[in-house]
Amino acid sequence: MKTVNHWIGGKPVEGVSGNYGPVYNPATGAQGTQVALASVEEVDAAVAAAKDAYRTWGTSSLATRTAILFKFRELVAAHRDEIAELITAEHGKVHADALGEVARGLEVIELACALPLQLKGELSTQVSTRVDVAAIRQSLGVVAGITPFNFPSMVPMWMFPIAIACGNTFVLKPSEKVPSAAYKLGALAAEAGLPDGVLNIVNGDKVAVDRLLEHPDIAAVSFVGSTPIARHIHTTATANGKRVQALGGAKNHMLVLPDADLELAADAAINAAYGSAGERCMAVSVVVAVGETGDPLIEKITARAAGLTIGPGDDPASEMGPLITKAHRDKVASYVTGAAAQGAEVVLDGTGFTVEGYEDGHWIGISLLDKVTADMDAYRDEIFGPVLCVVRAETYEEAIELINSSRWGNGTAIFTRDGGAARRFQLEVEAGMVGVNVPIPVPVGYHSFGGWKESLFGDHHIYGNDGVHFYTRGKVVTTRWPDPSDGGINLGFPSNH
């Protein structure tokens, strides 16, 4: 059986804890890989390697860093199909979706290549007689990232390229469910010339996570995952004096006004709700249909859903793959049956779906729930599966109140032809990312990603300008070089003349 080990100090390191976790192929349900789970001592070894590497990497030139990152970008692009295959084998998403994930990660590597522009300081000359003031940004030291199962390559690439471009060294703890893609990125970074210890990868479970959160040599922690874990990460790491950005869960609404192009809206709802089997923190899980839009919109969504092909991710004909684990599949199914019991209308029920020849896979079909209300579990909880809820609203005002009452504020979208309504929505809605006729408004690499309310714990969003600020700290230097003609003693209080 294949074993995924750690990457520490620029080389593969076998696990010595004796603990291993199973890695399944979600399409077959079979375990083909095991992953070494790090002990406290193994995490400490990764942090020690990063701390040792920081002594030279932290003072390296921007030219040196960017040259390596340019080479890393070339290698990731050249190996994108291989990375996508690893993602499909362990996550289950279809190959085209996995390729898209790699492409969005490449955007952030490209931003990191241009980071010298972002790290330029500010200078004010002659603020007082022969006194200049400069503001500069410097790296933090050793930083850590803890990443989720749903984007095994993209989310790590949202973190470590910017961190190391800023002069930090990095310890990555990927999801133990999908370890191979991150390990491949570590090997490609070494091939690109990244010095030993600048990027380290430790696989593990809660033991590894808790050690990273409390380790005295780690200055900052980045996290993407569920809201309960994000809250724990933030609370624990900040209590240990660390800077934290912890991105949590979501319940993303798509508001459809009566004047919207319903063909476009139906396509968007299908793509955003069921792409990657709904295992996206930016998936649309609620459509808020205003006025008389509900019935025709549901009719169009239902017609489109009938034509979707669900199957193994490595089959080019498949448009949606399985869920990550059987336990998660059962949990998602429980929301569909629970919604029916609570009074929702089940328009499409995917709970009994399976794929011939792959009966042991973690399959679930597409579910569409109508007449969902805000007190139902399917509305209140993050389902993280291919389940779309439709809520009816009489007016825009009722719809915006519903959306803003959510405890999450990650992403949202409005579909309308009315520019005034769209402008009003983008100003009034309480969410960190807003789409206008765009269902999944994930920002490009040079803008930052992050939500509001219980979708974010900490003050900084991820990548973009916020990412640069998170992985650096400001310093102000005031300088006076006296003119040779100056001299003498003056005991008076200094003044700005």
Segments in 39-140 forming alpha helices (H): 40-57, 62-78, 80-91, 95-113, 115-118
**Reduced to 3 states, what is the DSSP secondary structure of residue 217?**
coil
**What one-character DSSP code corresponds to residue 276?**
G
**What one-character DSSP code corresponds to residue 431?**
-
Nearest of 412, 390, 410 to residue 400 by alpha carbon? 412
Q: How far is CA 115 from the centre of its chain?
A: 20
CB-CB neighbours of 316 under 10 Å: 9
Strand order in the sheet with 472-480: 122-128, 131-139, 472-480
Residue 129's identity, in one-letter code, is: T
First to last CA, the chain: 75
Characterize 158-194 residue by residue with b for buried, 16 or more Cβ atoms within 10 angstroms of its Cβ, and e for exposed: bbbbbbbbbbbbbbbbbbbbbbbbbbbbbbbbbebeb
Nearest of 158, 388, 174 to residue 266 by alpha carbon? 388
In this structure, what token pair is assigned to residue 51? Answer: 């701390």
Rounded to 5°, the CA angle 330-23-384 comes to 35
Residue pair 162/70 in contact by the 8 Å Cβ criterion: no
Nearest of 158, 150, 208 to residue 185 by alpha carbon? 158
Is 281 known to be catalytic?
yes
Nearest of 159, 155, 145, 158 to residue 242 by alpha carbon? 145
In this structure, what token pair is assigned to residue 121? Answer: 């300081």
Beta strand 11-13 with 6-8 is: antiparallel
Catalytic residue among 113, 166, 281, 389: 281
Q: Which residues participate in catalysis according to the annotation?
A: 281
